[in-house]
Amino acid sequence: MTVTVRSRFRGPTTSGNGGYVAGLLAGRLGEGPATVTLRTPPPLDTPLTVRPSAPDALELSDGSTLVAVVAAAPDDLAAVPPVPVDEVAEISARYPGFTAHPFPECFVCGPARSPEDGLRLFPGRVGDGRTACLWSVAPDVAGAPEFVWAALDCPGGWSAPIEGRPMVLGRITAAVTDLPLPSESCLVMGALVGTEGRKTWTDSTLYGADGRVLGRARSTWIAIA
């Protein structure tokens, strides 16, 4: 089996968005919570091989280079408490990525992407370690779990000062319990869990317009500068 990460779904300019790639690989494992560990930046527009590596586990490779591994995980993820929806526009307007962004072309949170091309999630900081933003779900991304994984990615990362210390996703554990509807306005929450050395841990949660939880995640980020 092979998968290809199209350039549309990039995070850094030359590699795939970590959350999207993780969701793409987790979808090949099946339903249920999963942990994806990214070993190297996922290449774009390149057929990547998916093969079993252990019971309830798969690996993604580019020739002899291991790109990522996925394994089934327990569902012990906490939900980040939401903020009132009527406060989100003001919070999102303070998105640090508007003035300093290490990856402005990111499919999920890049301000350089158009509404037709990217998710345009702009997580502003609440002031208590959380971030918040809205996701207006375009019809072409509404029906696939990998886009929920993508939406759970960057809002967590921006709970840390990523604009001054660029980080990339190293590992993400996520549980997707429902999918957003086309044109639904969803709330995405992130939260800083902790930092030690080059590693930062964050949580994130995606809420539907009616308050239902669509997905939860815990991520490990690795500082690159």
| 49 vs 72: CA distance, rounded Å | 19
Q: Alpha-carbon dihedral of residues 27, 33, 38, 44, nearest 10 degrees?
A: 20
Cα maximum dimension of the chain: 50
How many domains does the chain divide into?
1
| 7 vs 1: CA distance, rounded Å | 20
Written as tens digits, the pLDDT of the chain (225 aa) is 899 999 999 999 999 999 999 999 999 999 899 999 999 999 999 999 999 988 889 999 999 999 999 999 999 999 999 999 999 999 999 999 999 999 999 999 999 999 999 999 999 999 999 999 999 999 999 989 999 999 999 999 999 999 999 999 999 999 999 999 999 999 999 999 999 999 999 999 999 999 999 999 999 999 996
Question: What's the burial of 45, exposed, middle or buried (CB within 10 Å: 0-12/13-18/19+)?
Answer: exposed
Residue 189 carries which side chain, given as an amino acid letter? Answer: M
- Give the CATH number of the domain where residue 82 resides: 2.40.160.210
CB 122 within 8 A of CB 188: no
Instruction: Give phi and psi for 97, each to the nearest 5.
Output: -65, -15
Structural domain of residue 92, as residue ranges? 2-223
Strand pairing report for 2-4 and 47-54: antiparallel
Confidence (pLDDT) at 55: 85
Instruction: Give phi and psi for 154, each to the nearest 5.
Output: -65, -35
Q: How far is CA 138 from CA 29, 201, 204, 209, 217, in A?
A: 26, 29, 21, 14, 22
Confidence (pLDDT) at 20: 98
Of 205, 207, 215, 169, give the one whose Cα is nearest residue 185. 207
Q: Which residue has the tokens 């029906």?
A: 143
